[in-house]
């Protein structure tokens, strides 16, 4: 799998932070800051050759919420789909750069790297940037509900990324012992990070919308408002007794609120997982 250049992920975060700055300091789902975020991600994906669509959330979302953004890499067996998703909205109180510019920028850069590398695919890869997560996982719930049962059963796993660069964070994996989590865990194990189950995040982000339909789910997270234990500080560093992200849902969740080392390890692990699950290992014949 390729190495993701964390400086490119950080450049996307700088753009999302600037978008919030032009729109009252927020990228909340009902505002122009959200719509501009969708336009930024969509423009990069279209330029790279993706099939991109906006899906208006016509039930269950907050009135006036902007759309989900869905991008599919148009190669590989369409009956085997691996999905990678993150919410693109912030809370009203701040620009949402760790929550969840971090997941959104990571997936954008991995998607661009896939297009640039253009490997032979063994499966389909589809990306989702969700609206209105902060009001109750609403955009992803609408998407999962809108699929037919055949479309749902084609999704072999859904991977979620919500807060993957927390400054005092830890290395958490959703459903860490599951088959879907195996490549995510293998990558962080290879860095000797000793990942743990994402207890804090269970049922609290968009993977839950897919889990509700029996789709296998996993993902990375580095933690929100819960506090780091002394055992976790001993193995990961950082401050015991302090929140994983002290700017959670606050105006200080800016580009200054990013753990660049954590962001890099998350992005590289996403690429490893995508390549492991969906890129062909067969050498093409000449």
List interacting residues with ligand PHE (CB under 6 A).
99, 133-134, 162-163, 200-201, 204-205, 221, 224
For residue 46, CA distances in Å to 16, 42, 211, 268, 281 come to: 18, 6, 29, 23, 27
Q: In angstroms, rounded to a whole number, what is the distance separating the alpha carbons of residues 57 and 138?
A: 8
Of 36 and 109, which has the nearer Cβ to Ca ion?
Answer: 109
Q: In angstroms, rounded to a whole number, what is the distance separating the alpha carbons of residues 37 and 15?
A: 9
Binding Ca ion by CB under 5 A: which of 65, 223, 268, 277?
268
Minimum separation from the CB atom of position 162 to ligand PHE (A):
5
Look-up of token digits 């897919």: 210
Q: Could you tell which of Zn ion, ligand PHE, Ca ion, none binds residue 268, using a CB distance below 5 to 8 A set by kind?
A: Ca ion
Binding Zn ion by CB under 5 A: which of 86, 100, 218, 254?
100
- The catalytic residue among 72, 133, 134, 211 is 133
Of 73 and 158, which has the nearer Cβ to ligand PHE?
Answer: 158
Q: In angstroms, rounded to a whole number, what is the distance separating the alpha carbons of residues 230 and 241?
A: 7
Minimum separation from the CB atom of position 50 to ligand PHE (A):
25
Minimum separation from the CB atom of position 99 to Zn ion (A):
4
Number of residues in contact with Ca ion under rule CB under 5 A: 4
Chain length of the chain: 286
Minimum separation from the CB atom of position 99 to ligand PHE (A):
5
Q: Could you tell which of Zn ion, Ca ion, ligand PHE, none binds residue 201, using a CB distance below 5 to 8 A set by kind?
A: ligand PHE
SS3 29: coil
Number of residues in contact with Zn ion under rule CB under 5 A: 3
Output the six-digit token pair for 166. Answer: 């927390």
Binding Ca ion by CB under 5 A: which of 264, 266, 275, 278?
264
How wide is the angle at C-alpha 206 spanned by C-alphas 215 and 220, nearest 5°?
Answer: 85
Is 95 within 8 Å of 254 (Cβ atoms)?
Answer: yes
Output the six-digit token pair for 257. Answer: 């609120």
Give the number of C-alpha atoms closer than 13 A to the C-alpha of residue 44, restricted to the C-beta side: 23
DSSP one-letter string for 180-194: TTHHHHHHHHHTT--
Minimum separation from the CB atom of position 208 to ligand PHE (A):
9
Of 30 and 100, which has the nearer Cβ to Zn ion?
Answer: 100
- Asked about 133 being catalytic, the answer comes back as yes
Of 72 and 245, which has the nearer Cβ to ligand PHE?
Answer: 245
Q: Could you tell which of Ca ion, ligand PHE, Zn ion, none binds residue 101, using a CB distance below 5 to 8 A set by kind?
A: none
Neighbours of 282 (CB within 10 A): 7
Which residues participate in catalysis according to the annotation?
133
């Amino acid at each position: 799998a390729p190495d993701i250049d964390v400086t490119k992920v950080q450049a996307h975060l700088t753009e999302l932070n600037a978008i919030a700055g032009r729109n009252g300091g927020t990228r909340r789902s009902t505002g122009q800051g959200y719509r501009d975020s969708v336009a930024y991600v969509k423009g990069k994906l279209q330029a790279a050759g993706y099939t991109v669509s906006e899906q208006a959330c016509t039930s269950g979302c907050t009135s006036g919420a902007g759309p989900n953004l869905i991008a599919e890499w148009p190669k590989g067996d369409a009956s085997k789909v691996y999905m990678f998703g993150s919410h693109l909205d912030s809370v009203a109180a701040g620009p949402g750069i760790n929550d969840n510019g971090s997941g959104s920028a990571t997936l954008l850069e991995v998607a661009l790297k896939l297009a640039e590398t253009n490997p032979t695919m063994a499966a389909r890869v589809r990306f989702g940037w969700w609206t209105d997560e902060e009001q109750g996982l609403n955009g992803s719930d609408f998407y999962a509900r809108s699929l037919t049962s055949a479309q749902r059963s084609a999704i072999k796993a859904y991977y979620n990324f919500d807060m993957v660069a927390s400054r005092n964070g830890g290395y958490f994996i959703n459903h860490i012992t599951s088959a879907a989590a195996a490549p995510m865990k293998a990558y962080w194990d290879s860095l000797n990070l000793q990942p743990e189950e994402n207890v804090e995040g269970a049922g609290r982000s968009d993977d839950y919308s897919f889990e509700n339909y029996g789709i296998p789910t996993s993902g990375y997270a580095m933690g929100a408002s819960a506090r780091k234990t002394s055992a976790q500080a001993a193995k990961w560093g950082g401050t015991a007794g302090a929140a994983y992200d002290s700017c959670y849902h606050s105006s200080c969740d800016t580009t200054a609120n990013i753990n660049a080392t954590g962001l890099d390890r998350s992005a590289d692990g996403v690429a490893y997982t995508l390549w492991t699950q969906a890129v062909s290992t067969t050498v093409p014949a000449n």
